[in-house]
């Protein structure tokens, strides 16, 4: 009888948008091992005899309770096995610090495969370390899997675009979420053998937690639940807009940020606008003296806030929310205005109109078949787009393979690839034929 084989996977998370992308993969590994425990020597099932050990690394790029810990509990992610505690810094300092600390972990853990997700500095830093590491004299290194590969905004001024391109070019397995990703990778000369169209793990999380998000108390906390306010929608929830802004290109320059806030005034005169603001954005609001655009109460506790959340004319600024509260607010919003990448995808899946305050998107499927429109950053563009999205219900479809099973597909491929590597390792031709061995 064949003995159960083991393999070690190292999964990296670092910043807020990583958590919902990695959570389904961590859950899929757990489910795989549980199935294996129940039936260690199954007759069918291609890969089911490999026991997977997952080591979870948190780089600490995001460290506030509201930007990190809350997501672990909301998404049922286990405590990280290793926390690198890197924190904030310039791009160079942050990336370098992650690389230094991660190299030690990689040499100690020696995983068979590394999973990185998304496009943040932690993604690139860890992929780059793994691409150059040597476990032994043969130059053995882990396979590198990039989840959310191939997305391109074609704007190299975005730090995320640089992170995406470089990560894709050092990865061995590229897991793609939409068809533009396939096209982009092929155009960049990446071999088809490395590319897998699997769908979107962020949507796996959304579908898994949508039910739980319904019991979030956030609508009541913000006074948006009852029907007696003048903008009441038919479903017992007030008609409101949800806003997020955090891109350095939108909030770090006074004139641009001011322009966006002025462009949003028409919207805030027509319905309450709820704005859970990223720490970067909150700092800029104080620094630029933009308090006049916002309702005076901060935070989201108590009746005072409930009253002000319904008030119009000013944007209602609150602290960043956890995953479930934000999902609940998104699902009931009349329109979502954002510069985030992931929110464009989540609103498309939920069928909620979305206005993206950017000149471009690396997620064109959300415009092509989804609910998203690109407003740009001009006042006119923002006004027109919000008006259009509030007035008309957009016809939309859910993109292909955004079905809640992407992590399963990823794990299937990972198991197959690990199995191939283990077979090679056991054969005499290991050093010559292992793609991980540098010549």
Nearer to ligand UD1, 62 or 363 (CB): 62
**Closest approach of ligand UD1 to the CB of residue 159, in Å:** 4
146 is catalytic: no
Among 47, 54, 59, 121, binds ligand UD1 (CB under 6 A): 121
Pick 159 or 351: Cβ nearer ligand UD1: 159
Residues 197-236, one symbol each (x = binds ligand UD1 by CB under 6 A, - = not), give: ----------------------------------------
Catalytic residue among 146, 246, 316, 332: 246
Binding residues with ligand UD1: total (CB under 6 A): 18
Q: What are residue 372's phi and psi, to 5 degrees?
A: -90, 140
> Is residue 52 classed as helix, strand or coil in its secondary structure?
strand
61 binds ligand UD1 (CB under 6 A): yes
Q: Which stretch binds ligand UD1 (CB under 6 A): 23-31, 200-208, 274-282, 362-370?
A: 274-282
Does the footprint of ligand UD1 cover residue 345 (CB under 6 A)?
Answer: no
Q: 384 - beta bridge partners? A: none
Q: How many CA atoms lie within 13 A of 231 on its CB side?
A: 21
Does residue number 278 form part of the binding site for ligand UD1 (CB under 6 A)? yes
Nearest approach, Cβ of 340 to ligand UD1 (angstroms)? 6
Of the pair 42, 85, the CB lying nearest ligand UD1 is at 85
SS3 380: helix
**Which residue in this structure is represented by tokens 């937690």?**
209
Binding mask 81-110 for ligand UD1 (x = CB under 6 A): -------x----------------------
Judged by beta carbon, residue 40 or residue 279, the one nearer ligand UD1 is 279
φ/ψ of 429, rounded to 5, equals -85, 15
Q: Site for ligand UD1 (CB under 6 A): which residue of 109, 135, 138, 159?
A: 159
Q: Which of residues 279 and 376 has its CB atom nearest to ligand UD1 in the complex? A: 279
Residue 281's Cα: distance from chain center in Å? 19
Residue 343 CA to residue 119 CA, distance in Å, equals: 15
Residue 63 touching ligand UD1 (CB under 6 A): yes
Taking CB under 6 A as the binding criterion, the range among 33-41, 118-126, 188-196, 302-310 that sits at the site for ligand UD1 is 118-126
Contacts of 76 (CB under 8 A, 6+ apart): 23, 27
The torsion angles phi and psi of 405, rounded to 5 degrees, stand at -120, 20
Nearest to 331 by CA among 218, 229, 170: 218
At 308, list the tokens.
């002000």
383 is an interface residue for ligand UD1 by CB under 6 A? no
Q: Please state the closest distance from residue 357 (CB atom) to ligand UD1, in A.
A: 14
| Residues of the chain by 3-state class (helix, strand, coil), percent to 5 | 50, 15, 40
Minimal distance in Å, beta carbon 391 to ligand UD1? 29
Nearer to ligand UD1, 308 or 361 (CB): 361
268 vs 338 by CB, closer to ligand UD1: 338
Choice between 63 and 288, CB closer to ligand UD1: 63
Does residue 146 bind ligand UD1 (CB under 6 A)?
Answer: no
- Figure out which of the listed residues 45, 46, 64, 433 binds ligand UD1, where binding follows CB under 6 A: 64
Q: Which of 11, 16, 125, 309 binds ligand UD1 (CB under 6 A)?
A: 16
Residue 393 CB, nearest approach to ligand UD1 (Å)? 28
Q: Which of 51, 55, 67, 208 binds ligand UD1 (CB under 6 A)?
A: 67
b/e map 99-135, b = 16+ CB within 10 Å: bebbbebbeebebbbbbbbbbbbbbbbbbbbbbebee
DSSP labels, 130-174:
HHH--SSTT----EEEEEEET---S-TTSHHHHHHHHHHHH-SEE
- Cα distance between residue 23 and residue 205, in whole Å: 7
Please check whether residue 263 is in contact with residue 382, taking contact to mean a CB–CB distance below 8 angstroms. yes
How far is Cα of residue 244 from the mean position of the Cα atoms in its chain? 14
Query: Contact 83/60 with Cβ under 8 angstroms?
Result: yes
CA angle 278–284–288, rounded 5-degree value? 155
Choose, by CB under 6 A, the member of 58, 164, 246, 310 that binds ligand UD1: 246
Q: For residues 423 and 433, what is the distance between their CA atoms, to the nearest angstrom? A: 11
Instruction: Identify the residue among 22, 120, 195, 382 touching ligand UD1 (CB under 6 A).
Output: 120
Coil, strand, or helix at residue 294? Answer: strand
Q: Provide, rounded to whole angstroms, the least separation between the CB of residue 321 and ligand UD1.
A: 12
Asked if 15 interacts with ligand UD1 (CB under 6 A), we say yes
Tell me which residues touch ligand UD1 (CB under 6 A).
15-17, 61-64, 67, 88, 119-121, 159-160, 246, 278-280
Which of the residues are catalytic? 246
């Amino acid at each position: 009888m064949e003995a159960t084989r083991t393999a070690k996977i190292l999964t990296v998370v670092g910043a807020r948008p990583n958590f919902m992308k990695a959570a389904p993969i961590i859950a899929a590994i757990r489910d795989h091992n549980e199935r294996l425990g129940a039936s260690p020597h199954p007759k069918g099932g291609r890969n089911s005899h490999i026991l997977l050990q997952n080591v979870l690394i948190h780089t600490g790029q995001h460290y506030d309770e509201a930007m990190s810990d809350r997501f672990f509990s909301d998404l049922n992610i286990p405590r990280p096995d290793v926390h690198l505690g890197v924190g904030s810094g310039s791009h160079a300092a942050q990336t370098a610090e992650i690389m230094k600390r991660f190299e030690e972990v990689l040499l100690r853990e020696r995983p068979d495969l590394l999973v990185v997700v998304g496009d943040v500095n932690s993604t690139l830093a860890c992929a780059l370390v793994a691409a150059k590491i040597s476990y032994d004299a043969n130059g053995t290194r882990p396979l590198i899997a990039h989840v959310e590969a191939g997305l391109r905004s074609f704007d190299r001024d975005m730090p995320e675009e640089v992170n995406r391109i470089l990560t894709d070019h050092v990865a061995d397995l590229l897991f793609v979420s939409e068809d533009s990703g396939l096209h982009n990778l092929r155009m960049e000369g990446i071999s088809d053998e490395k590319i897998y169209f699997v769908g979107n793990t962020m949507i796996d999380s959304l579908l898994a937690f949508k039910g739980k998000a319904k019991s979030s108390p956030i609508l009541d906390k913000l006074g948006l639940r009852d029907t007696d306010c003048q903008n009441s929608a038919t479903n017992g929830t007030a008609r409101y807009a949800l806003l997020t802004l955090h891109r350095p290109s939108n909030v770090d320059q006074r004139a641009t940020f001011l322009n966006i806030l002025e462009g949003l005034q028409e919207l805030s005169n027509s319905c309450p606008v709820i704005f859970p603001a990223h720490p970067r954005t909150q700092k800029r609001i104080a620094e630029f003296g933009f308090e006049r655009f916002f309702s005076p109460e901060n935070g989201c506790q108590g009746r005072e806030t409930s009253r002000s959340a319904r008030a119009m004319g000013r944007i209602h600024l609150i602290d960043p929310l956890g995953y479930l509260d934000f999902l609940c607010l998104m699902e009931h919003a009349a329109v979502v205005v954002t510069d985030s990448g992931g929110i464009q995808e989540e609103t498309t899946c939920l069928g909620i109109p979305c206005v993206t305050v950017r000149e471009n998107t690396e997620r064109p499927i959300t415009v092509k078949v989804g609910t998203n429109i690109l407003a740009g950053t001009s006042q006119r563009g923002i006004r027109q787009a919000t008006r259009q999205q509030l007035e008309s219900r957009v016809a939309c479809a859910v993109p292909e393979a955004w079905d809640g099973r992407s992590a399963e597909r990823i794990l299937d491929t990972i198991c197959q690839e690990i199995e191939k590597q283990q077979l090679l390792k056991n054969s005499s031709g290991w050093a010559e034929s292992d793609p991980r061995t540098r010549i």
